Chain A
Amino acid sequence: MNFLDLDSNSLYVYDKIKEIYGDGFLSDLYLNKSNIKSVISYLKSLGIKCINELLIYKIDVFFKDVDFLECEIKKFDVSEFVNLVNDDYFMIDNYLF
């Protein structure tokens, strides 16, 4: 099971997501896989490295529309955003939630 085409530790990531959010949410994840993959690609293109951690603990980021995310993130200093989120993924709350 790697419907999000994760690079590494995919089993761990899906297990943790299931543990935290439950089976019902896994259905939503699966049925939104196309959007989620687009967000993963976008965040990676910015230089975000902690994709797995964001998927586990800040999964709602990946349910947002990519264009919306781009607009939101561009309101800030992008390199500062990337550095802070790479240092501590919970800091994404300060920008997007």
Chain B
Amino acid sequence: MTGMKKQLIDKFRLMLAANSKYYDMFDDLNYLLYSIKDAPFNLIEIEKKYLPYVENNLSDGAKEFVKDTKSVLDVFEKSKYYDLPKEVVNNIVQNVYFSEVMEKLDRFLLHCSQREKIEEVITYLENLKENEYLEIEKIKMILINDLKFDCRVKSDIFLLMPKYNIFVSKNIENMYDKEMLEIDIISNEELIDIFKEYGYNFLLVSEKMREYAKIYGDLDNIRYMFEFFKDNNVKFSENDEKYLYILFKSDEVCINNLKSICDDYGFELNSLLNRTPSVFWDSIKRDKVNRKPGPPRPGGDEVSLSGSNGDFKKNVELIKSLGYPVKESYDKCSSVFVCSYRKLKGNVDDLIRYGIDPNNFSKIIKLTGLTSSNILNTIDRFIELGELDYLFDNTSRLALDCNHVIFHRLYKVKKHNMENPTNPIDYKNISKTGSISYKSFITSYHDTTLKINNDNKNLVNNFVEPCVLFDEDKEKVIRALDEGKNDDKDPLEMSDIKFLEENYKVNDLVYSVCGFTFSRLKVLRLYSSLENVDIDLDDLLFYCLTYNSMLTKEDVEVIKNEINLKRKGDLLL
């Protein structure tokens, strides 16, 4: 294993050495970019003082940018715009003449900023302990962001990383086996006796579950559970894994939790046993074995069989507080009751933030919609596609991922319909009862009509991430969005938002800029979360407006120009 780790470190060192000439340009190119962004009006000064410097000191690669910059300056000097007010010129220069140069610079800078990250990876690899897995996802991004390095070495790294983790896994498995030997396991005889005492035959239990019981079971807990089953007239077959897992994994604390829920809300024990056995144990097991992630449990279960006792109790209370009939809701969608409480509560809070009255949840929102992984982004997407009616016709659809293929297909169809008003594609069904559904070429997993599927959805429509942020800013933004819900401050009082409200507000849900629809709720929530964060963004407003929107490069340019020109125009007035 040491050999594999060394191979990986050597490859990253090779990457560092081969890229050093690019990395050395980072400061200079960064300066050039900011010179253009900050003070394009004084272009002559840049040309006279800065360009000769970079020309003399940079490699051929960087000179490409200098050449581009010079040609822009030449055109600009001859143009009629030179006599316009300073702010207007800055705007024109940044957005019209230099946009391509800046875009190239941004891309190149991303590559140049890799040095620090590769050094971090090398240190990370050097400090990696024998039983620690490689975080492949983290390292993968560095390789993907690298524009210049030899692809063969990169592919070697890609192949080596999973192999490394397989070695780690085997290593842990060996340690795990040793650990097992040290555990005070229950003997076969003890289990045979206790099963016999309650009328069951332990020898009829599958070998897998017998092993599980010996290692993970606890005689006192098993006795407690047998008594519990006996008191509630629960009988089971020795080969029914569902009951066996409950027998070996549950304990008095979990059962007491469930008893109080059953008493308070009228749940039937049998229903819980059959549909959601995971509510009988918790993920944190109070037993003798210090469970560790890693190799499969004895018997080779395909899933880790986590419990949901704690989440279940809190979910029941939350669902009740929102006015849903608890027992009836469990009968219809028990899945919601065992999902993560944190997620459920987060989604409820988010919907309240979007104006849903907590007293109306049970009337408006289907419980299954609350399992959404990113509920607000999903609502924003429906708003921006003009399909909010479809969402609220059946709020289970809140569970759709905002990057679901449905949205990519809708975008394509709607674009086609806008461009071909006389030959539109009919993508909706409206039933006699008025409920709305989409035709299968929008919703199906595999689609041969539009030919947009999961594997190509991100490529077909050529969407771009409108704002290229530096990594440091990205982290700040993500952190701020996670933590900062600046509810104290009314975003409508902020000047950027006032500008949008006055110029682009269509209704409470929508801003429209040059025919592009943006979720007003999205902009308000993002802006109020980010306004106080120290982010060096040229245009926070533009970031909030276009965040997660489905836009092509051309769309972004149109919107950016419109916003900038309008803002400068407002300033001149």
Name A's B-contacting residues (CB within 8 A).
Answer: 1, 3, 9, 12, 16, 19-32, 49-50, 52-53, 57-60, 63, 84, 86-91, 93-94, 97
Closest to A14 in B: B303
Q: Complex formed: what's the CA distance from A49 to B448 in Å?
A: 14
Structural contact, B397 and A90, CB atoms closer than 8 A: yes
Q: Complex formed: what's the CA distance from A37 to B437 in Å?
A: 27
Structural contact, B305 and A49, CB atoms closer than 8 A: no
Task: Write out the residue numbers on chain B whose beta carbons fall within 8 Å of the beta carbon of A53.
Answer: 443-445
Taking a contact as CB atoms closer than 8 A, the residue among B283, B301, B332, B343 that contacts A60 in the complex is B332
Q: Complex formed: what's the CA distance from A78 to B508 in Å?
A: 42
Sample of 5 A–B contacts (CB below 8 Å): A3-B303, A12-B454, A21-B338, A57-B368, A57-B396
Structural contact, A30 and B437, CB atoms closer than 8 A: no
Task: Write out the residue numbers on chain B whose beta carbons fall within 8 Å of the beta carbon of A16.
Answer: 401
Closest to A56 in B: B399
Name B's A-contacting residues (CB within 8 A).
Answer: 241-242, 245, 274-279, 283, 301-308, 311, 332-335, 338-340, 343, 366, 368, 371-373, 394, 396-397, 399-401, 429, 431, 433, 435, 437-440, 442-445, 454
Taking a contact as CB atoms closer than 8 A, the residue among B278, B333, B338, B372 that contacts A97 in the complex is B333
Task: Write out the residue numbers on chain A whose beta carbons fall within 8 Å of the beta carbon of B444.
Answer: 49-50, 53, 86
Structural contact, B437 and A91, CB atoms closer than 8 A: yes
Task: Write out the residue numbers on chain A whose beta carbons fall within 8 Å of the beta carbon of B308.
Answer: 22, 24-25, 27-28
Task: Write out the residue numbers on chain A whose beta carbons fall within 8 Å of the beta carbon of B333.
Answer: 60, 97
Structural contact, A93 and B394, CB atoms closer than 8 A: yes
Closest to A24 in B: B308
Task: Write out the residue numbers on chain B whose beta carbons fall within 8 Å of the beta carbon of A26.
Answer: 303-304, 306
Taking a contact as CB atoms closer than 8 A, the residue among A27, A52, A88, A97 that contacts B429 in the complex is A88
Task: Write out the residue numbers on chain B whose beta carbons fall within 8 Å of the beta carbon of A63.
Answer: 275, 334-335
Closest to A80 in B: B431
Q: Complex formed: what's the CA distance from A84 to B373 in Å?
A: 26
Structural contact, B283 and A23, CB atoms closer than 8 A: yes
Closest to B342 in A: A22
Q: Complex formed: what's the CA distance from A25 to B283 in Å?
A: 12
Q: Which 5 A-B residue pairs are closest in the complex by CB-CB distance?
A: A24-B308, A88-B437, A23-B306, A27-B278, A24-B278
Structural contact, B443 and A87, CB atoms closer than 8 A: yes
Structural contact, B302 and A25, CB atoms closer than 8 A: no
Structural contact, B303 and A30, CB atoms closer than 8 A: yes
Structural contact, B339 and A20, CB atoms closer than 8 A: yes
Task: Write out the residue numbers on chain A whose beta carbons fall within 8 Å of the beta carbon of B338.
Answer: 21-22, 24-25, 28
Structural contact, B440 and A22, CB atoms closer than 8 A: no
